[in-house]
Amino acid sequence: KQLLSYVGNNFGSGVMKRNSLCRYFVGVLNKDSGQMEVYNAEIFNMQPLLSDNLIPDDTKDYQNKSFREKVDLCIEAFGTSKQKRALNSRRMNAVGNDMLNTAVTKAAANVIDAKGVTALIQDVAQDDVQNMSIFLPPCHEDADKPEHVYKFEDILSPAEYEALKGPAAAFINITPEEITKKTEEKSHCSFVLEELKFLPVDEKSRDHKARCLWFLDILVKFSFLKVIKKKHPMGPECPHIISRKLMKNFTSLTYNNGSVQNLISASMKTKITSYVIALALHINKFQIDLTVLQNDMKLHESRMMDIAKAMRLKISKAKGLPGLENDQNHKLGTLSLPLPAQKTSGNQRKRKKMN
């Protein structure tokens, strides 16, 4: 038999807390007489001491060990062969991780020394611009007119544009009273409700603007969805070709619970926002209130400004514009030629300054 020794302290920082209003006793039963004698006692924890030589100094080292280390000691002394192999494997992995972390840290330091912090930050910023450009409409930098930078047919194909005639008809003959009611009900985004007040008198231009506004409103509403579970998420009034465009161009495929789902990820939200901006530019003569669209899309201002700058818009304050005299916080985005050079996002500039 192997005896297991227990040790404990009734003084010091590790002593068990006790109630000062209580007294503790130990009862010793005499088996022959059946009588029990009661003695005053103190309460404290006792723990197993895994050592062949019981030396008082050993208890202090044991008490300072973590629970994980104590369990490992038990495995070393009493564990099965399988438990001991698992323990050795875990310890080897820990050593390997430490060596890998050291190697990675040393390699990163060598790269920083060789290239410099400023150059590395510029590389990261350039990667951010390139990554965002994947989710923007095709940009024709050699365009001779603003309307050719982001071509309308890259936003809506002729077949898609034709399909919008039916649902957009409700906008063509809309009355001021209906606009007021829709504003109260918040049935459409603010940008669309404001532009409906200024539909052209010319029949062809009025029809064109109504179709564009209807599609822009659908894009904004679609961006609020998370996981697309319906085949026609925007309802039966949305043409099939438009529903297919939304699902194909503005969602990511994800695998969940054994099935493939369409998801509107953060990158897809960025893509939808960029297409909303491009369409709004065509609607509003290539100058738009970015703050209104930012609120419609429920984005942070910094994110909206990053997308606008990536799309090569010139940003300015909306000071002095009709209806905005008392609000100095609105930001205007203007698409004009020549296009400004691509700039890094505000976050990258802050990171560079901090370093």
Q: 15-24, 66-75, 173-182: lowest mean pLDDT where? A: 15-24
Backbone angles phi, psi at 90, to 5 degrees: -65, -40
Backbone angles phi, psi at 40, to 5 degrees: -60, 145
Q: What percent of the chain is predicted at pLDDT more than 70? A: 76
Question: Which of 6-20, 71-85, 88-102 is predicted most confidently?
Answer: 71-85
Question: Span 118-147, mean pLDDT?
Answer: 71
Query: What's the rounded Cα separation, in Å, for the pair 273 and 219?
Result: 8
What is the signed CA dihedral for 224, 225, 231, 235, rounded to 10 degrees? -40
Query: What's the rounded Cα separation, in Å, for the pair 218 and 226?
Result: 15
Report pLDDT for 11. Answer: 63
pTM over 0.75: no
**Is pLDDT above 70 for 141?**
yes
Q: 84-98, 168-182, 196-210, 335-349: lowest mean pLDDT where? A: 335-349
Q: 151-155, 222-226, 261-265, 266-270: lowest mean pLDDT where? A: 261-265
**Is pLDDT above 90 for 279?**
yes
Tokens of 274: 């960029």
User: Does residue 108 or residue 347 have the better pLDDT?
Assistant: 108
**Strand, helix or coil at 10?**
coil
**Is pLDDT above 90 for 319?**
no
Report pLDDT for 91. Answer: 81
User: Does residue 88 or residue 16 have the better pLDDT?
Assistant: 88
**Is pLDDT above 90 for 34?**
no
Report pLDDT for 349. Answer: 47
Report pLDDT for 355. Answer: 41
Residue 56 DSSP class: H
Report pLDDT for 131. Answer: 55
**Is pLDDT above 70 for 56?**
no
Report pLDDT for 133. Answer: 67
**Is pLDDT above 90 for 222?**
yes
Distances (CA, A) of 54 to 23, 58, 70, 132: 31, 7, 17, 67
**Is pLDDT above 80 for 180?**
yes
Residue 174's pLDDT band, with cuts at 50, 70 and 90, is: very high
State the chain's mean pLDDT as an integer.
Answer: 82
**Is pLDDT above 50 for 50?**
yes
Residue 19's pLDDT band, with cuts at 50, 70 and 90, is: low
**Is pLDDT above 80 for 26?**
yes
Residue 208's pLDDT band, with cuts at 50, 70 and 90, is: very high
Residue 354's pLDDT band, with cuts at 50, 70 and 90, is: very low
Residue 81's pLDDT band, with cuts at 50, 70 and 90, is: confident
Q: How far is CA 315 from the centre of its chain?
A: 26
Report pLDDT for 351. Answer: 47
Backbone angles phi, psi at 312, to 5 degrees: 70, 35
**Is pLDDT above 90 for 295?**
yes
Question: Span 284-290, mean pLDDT?
Answer: 95
Report pLDDT for 215. Answer: 97
Backbone angles phi, psi at 188, to 5 degrees: -135, 165
**Is pLDDT above 60 for 338?**
yes
Residue carrying structure tokens 């894009």: 219
Residue 221 in contact with residue 239, Cβ under 8 Å? no
User: Does residue 254 or residue 333 have the better pLDDT?
Assistant: 333
Question: Span 333-342, mean pLDDT?
Answer: 90
Query: What's the rounded Cα separation, in Å, for the pair 222 and 36?
Result: 81
